[in-house]
Amino acid sequence: MLNRLKKGDKIGIYSPSSPATVWAYERFVRAKDFLEEKGFIIVEGKLTGQSEEYRSGTPKERAEELNELLRDPDIKMVMSTIGGTNSNSMLPYIDYEAFKEHPKLIVGYSDATAILLSLYAKTGITTYYGPALVPSFGEFEPLVNDTYRYFEQYFIDEIELPYEVPMPRFWSDEAVNWLKKTTEKTLYPNEWITIHDGVVEGRLIGGNVNAMYGFIGTQYFPEIQHGDILLIEDCMKDALIVEKNFAMSKLHGVFDKVSGIILGKHERYDGLGTGKRPLDLLLEQLDGKEIPILAEFDTCHTHPMIPLAIGKKVKLDTVAKKVVCVEPWL
């Protein structure tokens, strides 16, 4: 069982794909300062401040940055700085045995899905779909404080089970200047949407569907089990790509096994004039399967973000529009 995070703990950061510590340096510093002001010690991976244009280093270099953090018994949590596109190229070089020897909280989202799911697939140790340093904690008020409150509840506070995942009152995917706060984000009233009434309970599995496309069907992807609850989300894709990625899941038989689906909000989605939302395209791929779905969920790229444990049981209630954690995740 992993221990809860506490003030004074060390959080190691690594860059599995995009070198945001270079191209978003001011935002990186703001995010680092934010968590340090909360009382944590940030340990920078060796590729911090390094860039090879679209990536922070070669696949082996990026894996070794992560491996050094995994091998360090004094680091309590490892958090990705941001996502990108090609974290899957690291997978053959990760030290999975080091993670078994020194289990720790591994958190991130987006393209870091490849790291989270491969670590879980190879070790059976829970990983966490949750905030990444630069995009989540380099934000401006008020939503950065909401994201931190959910992070604190999930990883620091003593929470009694069952834990009902809170629905934020407001959310936003509005793009604003990352370097300087010039305007306030537009906040939208929140609403979760459900399709097909049902109450199902199962192991949570999934993450960013575009990242999953890069390694599903390999030894690094967890075997989908009958009864699993599938979490899927994406960002800044158009309807063409969303359909392709949902079809990928269908062709791999994922929808034949899962008992429920949690579909995250899609940041800055482009329907290409079709009028179809991601939920509509998902229903096309389900082809009449009446799987309970909760859509517009906030474990995704929009702000604020709520963490969830990969590999732990949740209850999905589409009648009450609830996701409830029923198994200890720490």
- The 10s digit of each residue's pLDDT in 50-109 is 999 999 999 999 999 999 999 999 999 999 999 999 999 999 999 999 999 999 999 999
| Per-residue confidence (pLDDT) for residue 171, from 0 to 100 | 97
Of the residues 139, 233, 243, 267, which is catalytic?
A: 233
Q: Do domains 10-155 and 164-325 have the same CATH topology?
A: no
pLDDT in tens, 259-317: 999 999 999 999 999 999 999 999 999 999 999 999 999 999 999 999 999 999 999 99
Q: Which of 175-184, 212-221, 273-282 has the lowest mean pLDDT?
A: 175-184
| Per-residue confidence (pLDDT) for residue 52, from 0 to 100 | 96
What band does 179 get if pLDDT is binned at 50, 70 and 90? confident
CA 165 to chain centre: 15
Is 110 catalytic? The answer is yes
DSSP strand pairing (41-44 vs 10-14):
parallel
3-state secondary structure of 307: coil
Q: Which of 62-66, 137-141, 183-187, 233-237 has the lowest mean pLDDT?
A: 183-187
Report domain extents, the chain.
10-155, 164-325
Q: How is the beta sheet containing 163-164 ordered, strand by strand? A: 163-164, 322-325, 313-317, 199-208, 229-233, 260-264, 293-297, 193-195
| Per-residue confidence (pLDDT) for residue 127, from 0 to 100 | 98
What band does 184 get if pLDDT is binned at 50, 70 and 90? confident
The CATH number of 164-325 is: 3.50.30.60
- % the chain with pLDDT above 90: 94
| Per-residue confidence (pLDDT) for residue 2, from 0 to 100 | 85
| Residue 329 tokens, joined | 């995740």
245 contact partners, CB below 8 Å, separation of at least 6: 209, 210, 212, 213, 234, 237
Of the residues 89, 110, 118, 172, which is catalytic?
A: 110
Of the residues 249, 266, 267, 301, which is catalytic?
A: 301
Element (H, E) at 290: none
Predicted TM-score of the model (pTM): 0.97
| Per-residue confidence (pLDDT) for residue 269, from 0 to 100 | 97
The CATH number of 10-155 is: 3.40.50.10740
Is 17 catalytic? The answer is no
Taking a C-beta distance cutoff of 8 angstroms, is the pair 235, 265 a contact?
Answer: no
Is 301 catalytic? The answer is yes
